[in-house]
Structure 1
């Protein structure tokens, strides 16, 4: 039921895009969705616990890295639990409050990924290009300030984005997406949304541009430093840690770009668009713990030691 044109109340429910899952496949879809979510939670929690419970990893690089799995859990937890429930109940309706909360958390995840990766790039730049000043510039107090600044910046930017939707009349309730997001909600508004579109474009350009500039500047400087460094061990370690960080950045950039393009080109099949649409919420949270767990020697050794210890304890018991 549509609201009166003068009403500023939100509709009680929005309706997300149908998944068109045959009844015979529902149980399989629920199982696979639950398994995927559990795998993501397990991988990211392993990374979080490895860093927080081991004093040897309480260093600026790892304390900044800690924010990445936290951010990944925010994004996937905003998406997967509702998706699994909606498949099981065959109900794609979502309350207005839940929709706005989901949209805010998904955007916090997206913006947070760009900001955190940029902060990690700054840390790598100082560690490799300014090694004598690194301990001073990246003290525990400095790292805490950087972390607080990253999350506050993300929260303010995304809160403004969604606050711009307040006061509008939502004359439609069908969301043409797998999850609630700002762009899909703006499309449901009957009114002048020029400011929303301008701010959304500005925000997207700011976050993408900031991270891209930070990465280009950082890695040019790091490459020069590595080429001029005569110590092969130092050069090899720097390239290895930076390669891990660069891989994470490229994975997120690629999935973000594919998601944007999938919504721009309407001739793409709905099934492919849905798959691409959730790739940003699926691939980075799965791959990030694997990339850092496998390629970072300190984390890998701690995780292996933990599981070996558990195995020995169980055997002795």
Structure 2
């Protein structure tokens, strides 16, 4: 039986997957491929936005936050999981566990706020094109990006500040990575305030993101239906489709994660895998979706590849 103590242990034990001995290294190498693929796709998108002057526009400055956020999510989770598969230690230093949980929650909230900012930018560009350049100045873009990251940081910091104030009486994380619910289950005492703040923060994130995106896309749809030039309509719709697909990917993986914990007949290993999907699938697919549906990014990358081949 574990003793109740505020300084209980500096290390926590993670609950590993059941992996047959023959499957350990194939799964490890598959994880490496997924990680390198996600890193490469997002770094390519970041590099294009930084180096190519034709992408130095408000839309792409805001978009810059998306691959950056994806890199945070996949890096905070996957390397530790892969390391534990090979070493079979399944131990984590408590402050690093808190840091991992903090970054993973920042990633989740970040996607919602970034997509809201991107939809607002498209709303101004499509519905008020004559005012776009005067409204979406560098100062406005910096303010929007600061609000995205600042609000996300404050909400997640409040969540983890409340969690770390409670004494711990357990040391086993019932997951393969650290998150706020798992850390909260290690604590002793009343967690009512933590649960209320957690629900409040989630509600704020979803309400802000969904309301801004719903308003923006409804207005964009109305404007596009009345657009006289089919080429302009197609370009606007393609950009919005990319953003909606990214939102769809995130929400679907999140929904599967939640549902996997609601059904008793779902194995714990499957629950853990479903929990990982939200940190794996969006970072892999987001840059590909945006590259396919955004002509400027796609054409810029194709020109670079064509120049490399012709050398």
Classify the TM-score, shorter chain.
Answer: over 0.9
2:286 equivalent in structure 1: 288
What aligned pairs does 1:145-294 form with structure 2 within 5 A after superposition? Answer: 145-294=143-292
**Cα displacement string for residues 124-174 of structure 1 (whole angstroms, at most 9, x for unaligned residues):** 111111111111111111101111121111111111110001231211111
Q: Tell me, in whole angstroms, the C-alpha distance in 2 between the residues paired with 1:10 and 1:124.
A: 51
Question: Is the CA contact 1:69–1:289 (under 8 Å) kept in the aligned structure 2?
Answer: yes
Among 52, 57, 60, the residue aligned to 1:59? 57
1:103 equivalent in structure 2: 101
Query: Alpha carbons of 1:54 and 1:96: their partners in 2 closer, same or farther (altered >3 Å)?
Result: same
1:91 equivalent in structure 2: 89
How far the C-alpha of 1:10 sits from its partner, in A, is: 5.1
Among 122, 125, 142, the residue aligned to 1:124? 122
**Cα displacement string for residues 197-250 of structure 1 (whole angstroms, at most 9, x for unaligned residues):** 001111111112222212211111111111122221211111111111111111
1:2 equivalent in structure 2: 2
Q: Tell me, in whole angstroms, the C-alpha distance in 2 between the residues paired with 1:272 and 1:19.
A: 9
Q: Tell me, in whole angstroms, the C-alpha distance in 2 between the residues paired with 1:53 and 1:10.
A: 50
Q: Tell me, in whole angstroms, the C-alpha distance in 1 between the residues paired with 2:17 and 2:100.
A: 18
Question: Is the CA contact 2:18–2:269 (under 8 Å) kept in the aligned structure 1?
Answer: no
**Cα displacement string for residues 57-112 of structure 1 (whole angstroms, at most 9, x for unaligned residues):** 01111111110000000000001111111111012111101100100000010010
Q: Secondary structure at the match of 2:92?
A: strand
State how many pairs are aligned: 311
Query: Alpha carbons of 1:152 and 1:10: their partners in 2 closer, same or farther (altered >3 Å)?
Result: farther
Moved over 3 A (4+): none
Q: Tell me, in whole angstroms, the C-alpha distance in 1 between the residues paired with 2:109 and 2:23.
A: 34
Query: Alpha carbons of 1:18 and 1:232: their partners in 2 closer, same or farther (altered >3 Å)?
Result: same
Gap regions ≥5 residues in structure 2: none
2:139 equivalent in structure 1: 141
TM-score (norm 1): 0.94
TM-score (norm 2): 0.96
Q: Tell me, in whole angstroms, the C-alpha distance in 1 between the residues paired with 2:76 and 2:205.
A: 21
- Would you say 1:46 and 2:55 are equivalent positions? no
Tell me the C-alpha RMSD between the 2 structures. Answer: 1.4
Q: Tell me, in whole angstroms, the C-alpha distance in 1 between the residues paired with 2:168 and 2:152.
A: 26
